């Protein structure tokens, strides 16, 4: 690659959830790779224009979904031409189907079906080292009331699975995780995502 | 993956759970129907209670953990996290709530304390805890005991935000003071506020509490909630303010939106229209000393 890398503008959906952890993680990941960056909290549909990528943080998916609609951001998010990086609640929101959820429809950006709180309640939340495709050593993954992907459509590449249920996946330019790469202090998955942006 | 490789109940999981609540509203509910209303309105979690604080005030007597049936009924109704309150120091109520599977336990001054000397040793539990605080010393002592989240105590069940404001200001101004100190001064200050020095130093370096800090105790309107957010809290608990108001559905939705748009007065104005009557509210200065809840558990 010749010349100066272009400026990455990454919007962190800031309606509810652990937004600051995502801002910090992306800022840090860009800095260590010397990538010119602007990491912005994203709260209005007008702010979507010009973004390279949108990260959807962890939080309560029902709350975030409600606020996406209330703030009139759904159309702009569905038609966003950049990349998505989604964790936990974010993974749920990008799905095409949420098992047992009739109150709202997810954004349908990824052709997957997800099951919410698949491992149980908070007492069942866990940390574990898992193998992720594209990384040469295991990744320390933090699962908090995490969802799992129980069906993957075409064009979905599973990067990691637990008991044959996908917990990390890539779909073209998008990446989504059932766990929280922003919490473990290991930025390799952020770096992997940044390397796919152009 | 081997089962023994899984680690549960770590500090990271407890604090991580709390951080997922940021920017959200946690609502007190006393039955499944109210829990549903809260979830529909966009609450990030509900607090399952026997009575809301305003009714606990009215009822008097000893206020205890809710009936397990009530907690279970609420857990079965909503998919968002369910929290429940234990009396200060009542570690068996906490064990019971943990065994029911609640997602977070509030060791709360709203219930009658079971121990006037000691709080629960929260590090022994898998489930995360939230605790109330009036100032930095209280907040850091609770964190030292294992609390994964702090909330201002305010004065619960009054519908009067004045004490929540006082406690939020106390915490933030104490942190600002620390930031002007060198380490020797910070260690001395730690002694004065009866907090562990390493936590005092960590807080000064972060410029905020090392765990998520919500506001609670007297928040009754969208403007109350937005003011607490502008003062720097990470989210709000609303107790009696919703289900003691004229129209709980509208009030619940309005407070969620006010927290989301806390720095946009025009939006707060819009959501505040036609909400009907807010809860009646009490003047703090007219409470008898034994009616004040915030002095429980220091």
pLDDT tens for each residue of B125-149:
999 999 999 999 999 999 999 999 9
Can you give the pLDDT at residue B212? 98
| A16·B260 Cβ contact <8 A | yes
**Three-state helix/strand/coil letters over B160-186:** CCHHHHHHHHHHHHHHHHHHCCCHHHH
A182 is annotated as an active-site residue: yes
A66 contacts chain B (CB < 8 A): yes
- Contact list in B for residue A19 (CB cut-off 8 A) is 22-23
| A121·B42 Cβ contact <8 A | no
Extents of the domains making up chain A: 8-196
| B12·A126 Cβ contact <8 A | no
Measured from the Cβ of residue A112, the count of other Cβ atoms closer than 10 Å reads: 25
CA distance B10 to A171: 32
Can you give the pLDDT at residue B298? 86
A8-196 under CATH 3.40.50.880, yes or no: yes
Residue B174 has pLDDT above 70, yes or no: yes
Whether B242 and B251 have beta carbons less than 8 Å apart is answered as yes
Residue B4 has pLDDT above 60, yes or no: no
Residues 6+ away with beta carbon under 8 Å from A192: A134, A135, A175
Averaged pLDDT of chain A: 95
Across the A/B interface, how many CB contacts are shorter than 8 Å?
Answer: 119
Can you give the pLDDT at residue A142? 97
- What number is the average pLDDT over the span B88-101? 98
Q: Which helix (H) or strand (E) holds B13?
A: helix B11-19
Write the residue in A71, A88, A128 that is nearest to B6 by C-beta: A128
**If we measure between CA atoms, which residue out of B205, B202, B261, B251 comes closest to residue B229?**
B261
ipTM greater than 0.90 = yes
CA distance B143 to B107: 12
In terms of Cβ atoms closer than 10 Å to its own Cβ (0-12, 13-18, 19+), residue B58 is exposed
pLDDT band at B91 (very low <50, low <70, confident <90, very high): very high
CA distance A52 to A68: 19
Write the residue in B19, B44, B260 that is nearest to A21 by C-beta: B19
| B260·A58 Cβ contact <8 A | no
B281 contacts chain A (CB < 8 A): no
Under DSSP, is residue A8 helix (H, G, I), strand (E, B) or coil?
strand
- Contact list in B for residue A161 (CB cut-off 8 A) is none
């Amino acid at each position: 690659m010749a010349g100066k890398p272009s400026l990455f503008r990454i919007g962190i959906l800031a309606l509810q959830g652990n937004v600051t952890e995502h801002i910090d993680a992306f800022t840090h990941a860009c800095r260590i790779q010397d990538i010119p960056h602007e990491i912005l909290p994203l709260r209005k549909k007008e702010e979507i224009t010009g973004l390279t990528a949108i990260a959807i943080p962890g939080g309560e998916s029902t709350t975030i979904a409600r606020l996406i609609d209330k703030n009139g951001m759904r159309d702009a998010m569905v038609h966003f031409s950049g990349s998505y990086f989604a964790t936990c609640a974010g993974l749920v929101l990008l799905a095409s189907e949420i098992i047992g959820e009739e109150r709202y429809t997810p954004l349908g950006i990824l052709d997957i079906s997800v099951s919410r709180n698949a491992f149980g309640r908070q007492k069942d939340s866990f940390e574990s080292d898992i193998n992720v495709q594209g990384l040469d050593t295991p990744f320390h993954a933090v699962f908090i009331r995490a969802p799992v992907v129980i069906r993957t459509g075409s064009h979905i590449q599973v990067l990691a699975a637990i008991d044959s249920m996908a917990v990390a996946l890539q779909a073209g330019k998008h990446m989504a995780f059932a766990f929280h790469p922003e919490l473990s202090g290991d930025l390799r998955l952020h770096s992997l995502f940044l390397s796919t942006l152009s | 993956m081997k089962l023994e490789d899984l680690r549960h109940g770590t500090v990271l999981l407890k604090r991580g759970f709390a951080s997922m609540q940021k920017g959200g509203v946690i609502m007190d509910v006393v039955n499944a129907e109210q829990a549903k209303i809260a979830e529909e309105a966009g609450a990030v979690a509900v607090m399952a209670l026997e009575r809301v604080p305003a009714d606990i005030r009215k009822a008097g007597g000893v206020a205890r953990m809710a009936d397990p049936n009530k907690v279970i009924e609420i857990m079965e109704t909503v998919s968002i996290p369910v929290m429940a309150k234990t009396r200060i120091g009542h570690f068996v109520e906490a064990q019971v709530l943990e065994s029911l599977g609640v997602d977070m336990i509030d060791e709360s001054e709203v219930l009658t304390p079971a121990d006037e000397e000691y709080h629960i040793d929260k590090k022994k539990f898998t489930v995360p805890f939230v605790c109330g605080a009036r100032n930095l010393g209280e907040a850091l002592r609770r964190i030292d005991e294992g609390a994964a989240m702090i909330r201002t105590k305010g004065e619960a069940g009054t519908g009067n935000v004045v004490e929540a404001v006082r406690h939020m200001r106390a915490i933030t101004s104490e942190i600002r003071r620390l930031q002007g100190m060198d380490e020797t001064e910070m260690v001395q200050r730690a002694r004065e506020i009866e907090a562990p020095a390493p936590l005092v130093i960590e807080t000064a370096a972060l410029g905020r509490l090392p765990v998520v800090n919500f506001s609670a105790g007297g928040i009754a309107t969208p403007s109350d909630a937005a003011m607490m957010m502008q003062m720097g809290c990470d989210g709000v608990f609303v107790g009696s303010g919703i289900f003691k108001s004229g129209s709980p559905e509208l009030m619940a939705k309005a407070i969620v939106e006010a927290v989301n748009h806390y720095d946009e007065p025009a939006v707060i104005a819009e959501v505040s229209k036609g909400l009907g009557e807010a809860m009646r509210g009490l003047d703090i200065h007219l409470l008898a000393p034994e009616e004040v809840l915030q002095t429980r558990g220091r």
